[in-house]
Structure 1
Amino acid sequence: MNANCPLCTADGGELIWKNDELRVILANEPEYPGFCRVIWNTHVAEMTNLAIANRSALMQTVMKVEQAIIEVMQPDKVNLAALGNMVPHLHWHVIPRYQQDKTFPGSVWSNPLRDSHAQHLATQFAKVPALKQKLIDVLGTH
């Protein structure tokens, strides 16, 4: 535990599922409905800090989250990222992407290329409760 790390001291978003090793949160990003993070609970910075079995467990969870996002949110693409430059606590971003996104085809951290598409966002946000339930269904209860 690192007292200065926001992912050690808080869930990092809306907690959807958690076990002893990791957790899945909904980031609640206003421009990116369904944006999830898979966060390793222990404070480590890199995948190579984990034992091989733990790496596998983490990536299997990332893939389950990606599959749930594909099934429920029906994105044009899913982005996976494990940057950790700002918060060096191991976590994966699992982000549904759409051509209507403000930054598509750039990353969600890119400069906007267009204004928000209110109808698209409303349609996608309406799917988020189903995504939460799907994640619980595929990951189990916490």
Structure 2
Amino acid sequence: MSTNCILCKEDGGQLIWRGDDARVVLIDDPDLPGYCRIIWNRHVAEMSDLSQVEREILMALVDVTEFAIRRVMHPQKINIASLGNQVPHLHWHVIPRFVDDPFFPGSIWSSKQRELSDTTRKARREAAKSLPDAIRSGIADLA
């Protein structure tokens, strides 16, 4: 644990599931309903800091999260990224993307191209409420 690391101190979002090695959280971003992160519990910066078995565990969680987001949110595209430039604690972003989302076709860290309608935002936030159960079910199937 690093005392200066926000992901060592906090869950990093709404906790969906926590295991011995990693956790899955839902990010409360009004522009990107369904946006999740998979965060390694131990403070490491890179995938290469993990053993092969640990990498397989982490990527299985990324896969389960992607499948659940696709099944629940029905996005046109999924973005998966592991950057860590601002928070050098190993984590993966799994983001449902829609052609009408505020940042499309750029990354979610780009400038906004448009605003999401309130109706669309509300519908996607409502759909995202089903993600925790879908993700937990997918993780249970890994066992």
Fold similarity call, TM over 0.5: yes
Which residue does the alignment assign to 2:85?
A: 85
Aligned to 2:108: 108
**Paired residue type of 1:81:** A
* TM-score (normalised: structure 1): 0.96
Match for residue 13 of structure 2? 13
Q: CA shift at 1:79, angstroms? A: 0.2
| 1:46-71 alpha-carbon deviations (Å, 9 max, x no partner) | 00000011001100110000000000
Contact map agreement 1:100 1:117 (CA 8 A) in 2:
no
Structure 2 CA distance for aligned equivalents of residues 132 and 8 of structure 1? 22
Gaps of 5+ in 2: none
Give the Cα separation in 1 of the matches to 2:11 and 2:64: 19
Matches within 5 A, 1:117-132: 117-132=117-132
The Cα shift of 1:131 comes to 1.2
Q: Which runs of 5+ in 1 are unaligned?
A: none
SS of the residue corresponding to residue 33 of structure 2 reads coil
Residue 69 of structure 1 corresponds to which residue in structure 2?
Answer: 69
Deviation string, structure 1 residues 31-90 (Cα, Å, up to 9, x no partner): 000000000000000000000110011001100000000000000100000000000000
Q: Which stretches of structure 1, 4 residues or more, deviate above 4 A after TM superposition?
A: none
Shift of 1:117: 2.0
Q: Any idea what SS the aligned residue of 1:15 has? A: strand
Partner letter of residue 99 of structure 1?
Answer: V
How do 1:128-139 and structure 2 match up within 5 A?
A: 128-139=128-139
Given the two structures, how large is their TM-score scaled by the length of structure 2? 0.96
Partner of 1:127: helix, strand, or coil? helix
Structure 1 vs Structure 2 CA RMSD: 0.7
Deviations 1:89-115 (A, max 9, x none): 000000000011111010011001112
Please state if 1:95 is matched with 2:95: yes
Identity of aligned residues (%): 46
Please say if residues 38 and 91 of structure 1, whose CA atoms lie closer than 8 Å, have aligned partners that are also in contact: yes
Aligned counterparts of 2:67 and 2:128: Cα–Cα separation in 1: 14
Cα deviation for residue 130 of structure 1 reads 1.1
Residue 118 (structure 1) shift? 1.7
